[in-house]
Amino acid sequence: MKTLAWMVASGALMLGSAVGEPPPAQPDELRFLFITCCRDEAFFRPVKKGMTDAARAMQVRCEFTGTEGVDVKAQAAMVRKAVADGYHGIALNIIDPTAFDDVVAEAVGRGVPVVAFNVDDHSTPNARLAAVCQDYLKAGRALATQALPSIPPNTKVLITQHDVGISSLDDRMRGIQEVLARHRIPWKVVCTTNDPPKAIEVVTRELKADASIRFVLATGLTDTEAAGRAIERDFAGQGYGAAGFDLAPEILRLIQKGVIRMTTDQQPYIQGYYPVVQLALFCRFGIRPSNIDAGAAIITSKEVDRVVELTRLGYR
């Protein structure tokens, strides 16, 4: 009877932990830290939800931090501080192919596993155990290929990035450029900044300055939304179009209106969820993580209604 009572009580405790708030940290509880650039960007909302849901499911504690903009030195310093502060594992957004090689090796050498999320270091040796991210080069090719029928003949494409120095954006752009070059479509590249109002003005300025530019191919969330909003505000009904990345509510609204023709989903929820699972299994049982492709599904007006509610809830 005592055994049965203990099992019932234990089961109730486990259920409460799974669906409610995590219990206060215990001395032997696993603690993981997510470290990124541009920590307040809307893109990371589903990443944070995935992290939180996985932390509850795996009975670990997780925190999300990072730099305000792109500052690889400050981000690397955060990794060193996390190791010094006793975190048991780190999920790192490796936005630069070389800047984090040493600090990741240091962390792993001191027994703190590191997995990449959102952006991986795939061009140079890195001690991180695995990565959960999109194949960015392939995603850029896929977007440009799908967008080709929407690009008016004998026109130029504006390719945008919201920041300079992020390898994922560079890879997407390279994939886009490969497809455009193959079809002899000229382009211009511009950095919009990651500030939404400024990004809208940059796109507007470029479209007004060159009448041959009729289509925008964006490489990130902020510039995709900015392209759509600029066209909606100043160029509606004039044959302009845009396509890009991510599933922010405003991007989906602009797809529904036909302003943005399509966007590319990289499933940010799983970029928060799976690193927690990987780190927990590795720390507890030595199960080594493996790479997970976050995908590159193209969302058009045909699919958009299905994902609007899930985006509102933070899953997409």
Whether 145 contacts 176, CB under 8 Å: no
For 303, other C-beta atoms within 10 Å of its C-beta total 14
Strands in the chain per DSSP E? 31-36, 61-66, 89-92, 114-118, 131-133, 156-161, 187-191, 213-218, 241-245, 260-265, 292-293, 297-299
Q: Which CATH homologous superfamily contains domain 24-134+267-295? A: Response regulator (3.40.50.2300)
Class of 136-265 in CATH: alpha beta
- State the alpha helices, DSSP H only, in 125-239: 136-147, 167-182, 196-209, 221-234
Closest alpha carbon to 229 in 187, 167, 113, 221: 221
* pLDDT computed for residue 125 by the predictor: 79
List CB contacts of 52: < 8 A, sequence separation 6 or more.
62, 272
Q: What are the boundaries of each domain within the chain?
A: 24-134+267-295, 136-265
Q: What are 192-222's pLDDT values in tens digits? A: 999 999 999 999 999 999 999 999 999 999 9
Same fold, 24-134+267-295 and 136-265: yes
* pLDDT computed for residue 165 by the predictor: 84
Closest alpha carbon to 177 in 137, 149, 209: 137
Q: How confident is the model at residue 280 (pLDDT cuts 50, 70, 90)?
A: very high
251: left (phi over 0), alpha (psi -120 to 50) or beta: alpha
Q: What are 102-122's pLDDT values in tens digits? A: 999 999 999 999 999 999 987
* pLDDT computed for residue 121 by the predictor: 84
* pLDDT computed for residue 17 by the predictor: 36
* pLDDT computed for residue 22 by the predictor: 40
Q: How confident is the model at residue 7 (pLDDT cuts 50, 70, 90)?
A: very low
* pLDDT computed for residue 87 by the predictor: 98
Q: How confident is the model at residue 271 (pLDDT cuts 50, 70, 90)?
A: very high
Question: What are the structure tokens assigned to 293, written together?
Answer: 């492709």
Q: How confident is the model at residue 261 (pLDDT cuts 50, 70, 90)?
A: very high
Q: What are 225-256's pLDDT values in tens digits? A: 999 999 999 999 999 999 999 998 999 999 99
Q: What are 32-53's pLDDT values in tens digits? A: 999 999 999 888 999 999 999 9
Is the overall model pTM greater than 0.75, yes or no? yes
Mean pLDDT of 170-178: 98
Closest alpha carbon to 140 in 306, 278, 298: 298
